[in-house]
């Protein structure tokens, strides 16, 4: 213990008792992280899960919208890609991850607003 002649011993004990513990100094950061997790990460995980389920359930004949803005009908489905018919004689092979939504789902969302 450091003895300082200017500060009386009772004052040094009071100063030492006033220092916050490690848990109390970390608690605000943990609370902020918890709020961040609840407000940002959980909804994002739910959205990703819903999109992945939608992509896994795509079947032939579904009308979809790609992330590039192409509207088309699914002509064939493979493991990682989809054959998309965008016109009578035009078929495009795209990655499943490029499908943004089903056309019927996006029509429901736009009719509500």
Domain that holds residue 69: 62-113
Query: Does any domain span residue 112?
Result: yes
Domain count, the chain: 1
Residue 34 lies inside a defined structural domain of this protein? no
Does any domain span residue 95? yes
Total Cβ atoms within 10 A of residue 95 = 12
- Is residue 83 a part of any domain in this protein? yes
Q: Read off the pLDDT of residues 68-100 as tens digits, 9 standing for 90 and up.
A: 999 999 999 999 999 999 999 999 999 999 999
In a domain? residue 72: yes
Which CATH number goes with the domain that contains 100? Answer: 2.30.30
107 or 62: which carries more pLDDT confidence? 62
Model confidence pLDDT, tens digit, residues 29-63: 999 999 999 999 999 999 999 999 999 999 999 99
**Does any domain span residue 105?**
yes
């Amino acid at each position: 213990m450091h003895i300082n002649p200017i500060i009386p011993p009772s004052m040094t004990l009071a100063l030492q008792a006033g220092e916050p513990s490690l848990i109390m100094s970390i608690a605000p950061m943990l609370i902020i992280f918890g709020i961040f997790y609840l407000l940002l990460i959980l909804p994002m995980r739910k959205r990703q899960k819903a999109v992945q389920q939608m992509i896994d359930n795509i079947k032939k004949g579904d009308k979809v919208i790609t992330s590039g803005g192409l509207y088309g009908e699914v002509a064939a489905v493979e493991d990682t890609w989809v054959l998309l018919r965008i016109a009578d004689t035009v078929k495009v092979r795209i990655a499943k991850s490029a499908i943004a939504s089903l056309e019927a789902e996006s029509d429901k969302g736009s009719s509500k607003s």
